[in-house]
Amino acid sequence: MKTMYENYEIWWVTGAQLLYGGDAVVAVDSHSKEMVDGLNNSGNLPIKVVYKGTANSSREVEDIMKAANNDSRCVGIITWMHTFSPAKMWIHGLKVLSKPLLHLHTQYNAEIPWDTMDMDFMNLNQSAHGDREFGHICARMRVRRKVVTGYWKDADTQKRIAVWQRVCAAWADSQDMLILRFGDQMNNVAVTDGDKVEAEVRMGYHVDYMPFSEVMPYFDAVKDEDVDALVAEYFRLYTHDEKLEDKSTVEYKKVWNSAKAELTLRAVLKAKGAKGFTTNFDDLGDADVENTGRGFDQIPGLASQRLMAEGYGFGAEGDWKSAALYRTLWVMGQGMPGGCSFLEDYTLNFDGKQSSILQAHMLEVCPLIAEEKPRLEVHFLGIGYRKSLTARLVFTSKPEKGVTATVVDMGNRFRLIVNDVECIKSKPLPKLPVASALWIPMPSFEVGATAWILAGGTHHSCFSYDITPEYWEDYAEIAGIEMVHIDKDTTIEGFKQTLRMGEVYYMLNKSLYL
């Protein structure tokens, strides 16, 4: 399966010096090439590692870092100190580096050759020495990086590198991410809003408002035959009542309208080069759309579901932060089987130890998380000023463990809130025909939900079966934002202390967020 990762590279730079002579540098180079080839052939890394040679001087380090900054294919740098590399020669290069950094603390050989080890071997194989020297200068310079410690041939070590690689790809993707907002925040909602300027400074993506008047030319340009073809595709892909195919019914017309909305949105997103979008009920075109046919007759829920599955970020009710975060989540999970979705805390189910939260939305839940083939249905939607029948995909999520996350604006910083959850089987909802998930937040409903609220978490979040907290930790490190994690070991007392320490940290270290 091809992914966008094929367009990216991770550069590998080995630290050395000329003190030990040319033969040592030749050996360092040979070992490094073997290690890079081994990683690429392991099958565990999603992005190709490209060996960029040894760095033996300050000028060489700086040149490599500048080249990495200017190469759009390079999404991150792996450094490893095979032998002792004096860290002062890394200062200028680290000062200019703008790409994510991973420091690999490993060694070419797995074990010490007890019977044959001599001083030449010691001088060459000094990762235990050189990596600490490099680690010191990174700490001294406050360089944000990931440190992976372990033997380079071990699968666990390779998989930790792979996590970081996926996050690097998502980070690179966000640096030219455009989110289009078809409407603003709704009903004075605070948690879905935030500082768009600081978001672009900190996380790279740009948010633009697009009035529906600018959408209408794309809507008018959609050809009926293309809509017909997409409707036929719906009927092939999803289970449905055969009566839905009756072109004389209003239900068929609603499916047709949903297909036209999807084609319109996709055309807009492609034309603008956008990677995500938001919608709301208040900006859908002509108010008399039932008679004029110019605009969306209801919120484009089916379109949003399908566009999310293609990788477009989505946030409901103008929630641009969730739209961007979902896109990042989708990029990190490229090629992984579990799936991801935008979700909303809908209602609570108090049931002792099985107390849980129903995750749904009016319509917009991504079919990537469906347990079975989604069902295409048309039902009345009585929310918003356009109350009418509308099409949607109906399903329940897979009962598995996953992780959900959200970003909130705390005024002086962004906070990434991550919660381990367990999706469980839900009972049928015959009167609520929407896509949904039912989960228990870790460590329990009471503690997990309380901690989320204490952290200022949104009612919207971005969920994945594949992406673990390690991915979000790497993302927060690269972005330079706060992350709090709610897991099986969380206690309210300890979590409150974590939040208090975060407040102190960012108040005392304002320069970290400037």
Going by the DSSP 8-state scheme, the letter that residue 284 receives in this structure is S
Strands 482-486 and 401-409: unpaired
Question: DSSP state, 78?
Answer: E
Measured in degrees and rounded to the nearest 5, phi and psi for residue 166 equal: -65, -40
Q: Are 21 and 120 contacting, i.e. CB atoms less than 8 angstroms apart?
A: no
Rounded Cα–Cα distance for residues 280 and 287 (Å): 14
3-state secondary structure of 427: coil
Dig out the tokens for 223 from the structure.
């050809």
Per the DSSP assignment, residues forming a β-bridge with 341 are: 463
Chain centre distance of CA 449 = 22
Q: What are phi and psi of 489, to 5 degrees?
A: -100, 0
d(CA 439, CA 465): 12
Q: What is the helix (H) or strand (E) element at residue 469, kind and residue range?
A: helix 469-479
The whole-angstrom separation of Cα 448 and Cα 491 is 9
| 344 assigned ligand-binding residue | yes
DSSP state of 83: S
SS3 407: strand
Residue given tokens 């993302």 in the structure block: 475
Residue 290 marked ligand-binding: no
Give residues with Cβ within 8 angstroms of 205, minimum separation 6: 174, 175, 177, 178, 179, 199, 275, 276, 324
**Is the Cα torsion angle 487, 332, 345, 199 positive or negative in sign?**
positive
| Cβ proximity of 12 and 52 under 8 Å | yes
Q: Is 129 annotated as a binding residue?
A: no
Q: Which residue, 244, 218, 220, is CA-closest to 232?
A: 244
Asked if residue 485 belongs to a known ligand binding site, the reply is no
Looking at the DSSP assignment, which residues form a beta bridge with residue 349?
356
If you write DSSP's letter for every residue of 297-336 in order, what string do you get?
A: SS--HHHHHHHHHHT-EEEETT-HHHHHHHHHHHHHTTT-
Closest CA relative to residue 66, chosen from 103, 99, 100, 29: 99
CA dihedral 113, 115, 118, 124 (to 10 degrees): -10
Going by C-alpha positions, the residue among 313, 483, 498 that lies closest to residue 406 is 483
Task: Write out the binding residues.
Answer: 317, 344, 361, 460
Task: Write out the binding residues for Mn(2+).
Answer: 317, 344, 361, 460
